[in-house]
Structure 1
């Protein structure tokens, strides 16, 4: 038999609820979310006296009821009830106050660091529509208002941006699995306490913007590490913080990340919608790098859909926009949108369209630029495209040689995307498993990455 839940009993008394009143409010909150519950005082009696734990999401409704009356946040874990499934749902929610958004990010981070089940939460396609719509409507509404220049140079914000630059560099050079835990710890121990203080409006908006950048980067690291459901939740919360900050370019950048993820997971229609929402919410001269990225991600989605002419037009727009980029004028988060990145993404478009000559031209330039920068992840992705081009031309030996280059580069970074790229090449080369060069490629993949053919 479970022990009585004395903590819950005490919270109910502090909140001034009767057992019947708490049960009634739980039913009302459930009804507001389309769930029909019929709890009464006897159910609360079982929760308190017998220590029974109702299934999620009921603990969340209990916590929300208590929070309303107490005027402070109460989590199910505060009174010994589970919150794993509801955290997964809360991570997909777009709304509430920026502080609630920051707390959701921290709760995701705690679960992430402790390897709780929320890290296995699924990617939810239906969750993409509302955030992109709400962000776009809010951004278009703000475009019609006059805002004074934003105060910059605050010490705390400058420190957060320096930390962002450091962690983004680690992600670009070493992969998303390398430092995510450390960034989560920084967000939890330093950033959220700052957000809880009172600030002047200009400082507050700047803090929201810097926090959104960090939340986006955590999500991007999770994406690169193959934790797609978790990544989606971080990115949705980052989008809400970006909206609270008033930064249209940053919000568009988060939508670009969601578009990239949707396309990778085989949802090009949604990827196209997200990229276009980002474009529509971004004024042309706010960030040429971000706009070029959105154009090329639109091209990626169109290429995946097989729309060759529309993809070609989007590529042309991406190239012409990128030619206007002055990197010194771009925000720190846009610095990775450089020639090796853009050329690599264009190469992927031509891979999906089976245009080998164009594929090779762009992928070679991307791979060489990545080599000069020491960017193994980008180099691995571009060499993999070149290998696919060789397979399309039936040059199996050359494809296998490039595949070994991909393996060598993938072994130097902590990136599940790179591992998946090697897996994809293994799958594509399976019909040629008797070719000695392919056997060498598979042996190398097994030796360095533990990937059997």
Structure 2
């Protein structure tokens, strides 16, 4: 339903208890697929192709022009496809979507080189490319490609600068700071994060400021600076409270009360405050929307890790038993879950 924007009936499914005798008889195979049967054909394609291929098919990524005159309406359609890709990342994880994102990025590079357009369209296209690079970076992490993620974030920053897109620049700086922290370069991560917070976009957009402060709190916690971590957590909460409730851009829709609680939990865990981290993680899981399946799996694994670390093995076993990774495409999450399973099996 999410992929095709159709009801189950329009996709050819029959509700339970309803007889199939009243349904139209499909035409013979040699007659081809008619207009009414196209959704059924699309459902069959969905069932027999990979997640990445299915998303590419549904979004019509090959429809983006690579020659001719490009208009703002074309860039609007490109942004729509990128936004839907970002929504799929939060739903199923980015591992299977990483090849789709990089293939679409290559196509947009061809669009930029092969089409003609004016200054406004050029600016909008660079902004879209920056957006896709940042999303592709997150997908690379889920695919187990941290080196590629780092390159994607750098490309995102470059395209955002070319576009004069301050929000895109703030996003790219935030991702680069996070990646530096993941790579163990804590001082560099803190410097990047502070610089991003001093940008005009962070000062003007409380939601971006909330994300930057929350990630800065994790950096301070990893550096064992408890007072600075506490100040950053409080700053993130205050910034989030100041944010208006207008619909944010697709890439930022993951940031809500649940995500802030989850990020605070990571900071508490880095400081060794495991009970506080467990409480905050449980709060994140309670607040998560049903559509945030990747985040639910991520924080459920985090909760199990915290329970194991505190010796609560029975609770951890119950937590992992409820984790559903069947439809999830994230090597990053499944590897952590495997470690928890091994620990429980050998303890």
Q: Distance in 2 between matches of 1:212 and 1:233?
A: 12
User: Judging changes above 3 Å, is the alpha-carbon distance between structure 1 residues 182 and 387 closer, same or farther for their aligned structure 2 residues?
Assistant: closer
Residue 314 of structure 1 and its aligned partner are, at CA, apart by 0.4
Residue 251 of structure 1 and its aligned partner are, at CA, apart by 0.8
1:98-157, Cα deviation, whole Å (9 max, x unpaired): xxxxxxxxxxxxxxxxxxxxxxxxxxxxxxxxxxxxxxxxxxxxxxxxxxxxxxx92012
Q: Which residue of 2 aligns with 1:402?
A: 319
Q: Distance in 2 between matches of 1:185 and 1:397?
A: 44
Tell me the TM-score normalized by structure 1.
0.57
Q: Distance in 1 between matches of 2:119 and 2:190?
A: 35
Select the residue among 130, 141, 160 that pairs with 2:78.
160
Select the residue among 126, 144, 162 that pairs with 1:226.
144
1:202-231, Cα deviation, whole Å (9 max, x unpaired): 222111111110122112211221101111
Q: Distance in 2 between matches of 1:293 and 1:324?
A: 13
1:433 and 2:343 are equivalent in the alignment: no
Residues 240-251 of structure 1: matches in 2 within 5 Å?
240-251=158-169
Q: Which residue of 2 aligns with 1:307?
A: 225
Q: Distance in 2 between matches of 1:221 and 1:417?
A: 10
Q: Distance in 2 between matches of 1:393 and 1:230?
A: 35
User: Judging changes above 3 Å, is the alpha-carbon distance between structure 1 residues 352 and 160 closer, same or farther for their aligned structure 2 residues?
Assistant: same
Select the residue among 255, 269, 273 that pairs with 1:351.
269
Q: Which residue of 1 aligns with 2:180?
A: 262
1:363 and 2:281 are equivalent in the alignment: yes
Which has the higher relative contact order, 1 or 2, with Cα contacts under 8 A spaced 6 or more apart? Answer: 2
Q: Distance in 1 between matches of 2:341 and 2:187?
A: 27
Residue 409 of structure 1 and its aligned partner are, at CA, apart by 2.8
Q: Distance in 2 between matches of 1:280 and 1:165?
A: 27
Q: Highest Rg: 1 or 2?
A: 1
Q: Which residue of 1 aligns with 2:68?
A: none
Residue 286 of structure 1 and its aligned partner are, at CA, apart by 3.3
The answer on whether the counterparts of 2:265 and 2:278 sit within 8 Å (CA) in structure 1 is yes
Q: Which residue of 2 aligns with 1:70?
A: none
Q: Distance in 2 between matches of 1:173 and 1:420?
A: 18
Q: Distance in 1 between matches of 2:96 and 2:236?
A: 30
Select the residue among 61, 81, 96 that pairs with 1:178.
96
Q: Which residue of 2 aligns with 1:419?
A: 334
Residue 176 of structure 1 and its aligned partner are, at CA, apart by 0.8
The answer on whether the counterparts of 1:177 and 1:414 sit within 8 Å (CA) in structure 2 is yes
User: Judging changes above 3 Å, is the alpha-carbon distance between structure 1 residues 154 and 350 closer, same or farther for their aligned structure 2 residues?
Assistant: same
Residue 160 of structure 1 and its aligned partner are, at CA, apart by 1.2
Q: Distance in 2 between matches of 1:284 and 1:265?
A: 24
1:332 and 2:250 are equivalent in the alignment: yes
Q: Which residue of 2 aligns with 1:199?
A: 117
Give the secondary-structure state (helix, strand or coil) at the position aligned to 2:132.
helix
Residue 274 of structure 1 and its aligned partner are, at CA, apart by 2.0
Q: Distance in 2 between matches of 1:424 and 1:302?
A: 26
Give the secondary-structure state (helix, strand or coil) at the position aligned to 1:323.
helix
1:388 and 2:305 are equivalent in the alignment: yes
The answer on whether the counterparts of 1:225 and 1:415 sit within 8 Å (CA) in structure 2 is yes
Q: Which residue of 2 aligns with 1:376?
A: 293
The answer on whether the counterparts of 1:347 and 1:382 sit within 8 Å (CA) in structure 2 is no
Give the secondary-structure state (helix, strand or coil) at the position aligned to 2:115.
coil
User: Judging changes above 3 Å, is the alpha-carbon distance between structure 1 residues 191 and 163 closer, same or farther for their aligned structure 2 residues?
Assistant: farther
Q: Kindly tell me the number of residue pairs found equivalent between the two proteins.
A: 278
1:292 and 2:210 are equivalent in the alignment: yes
The answer on whether the counterparts of 1:350 and 1:358 sit within 8 Å (CA) in structure 2 is yes
Residue 190 of structure 1 and its aligned partner are, at CA, apart by 4.6
The answer on whether the counterparts of 2:156 and 2:168 sit within 8 Å (CA) in structure 1 is no
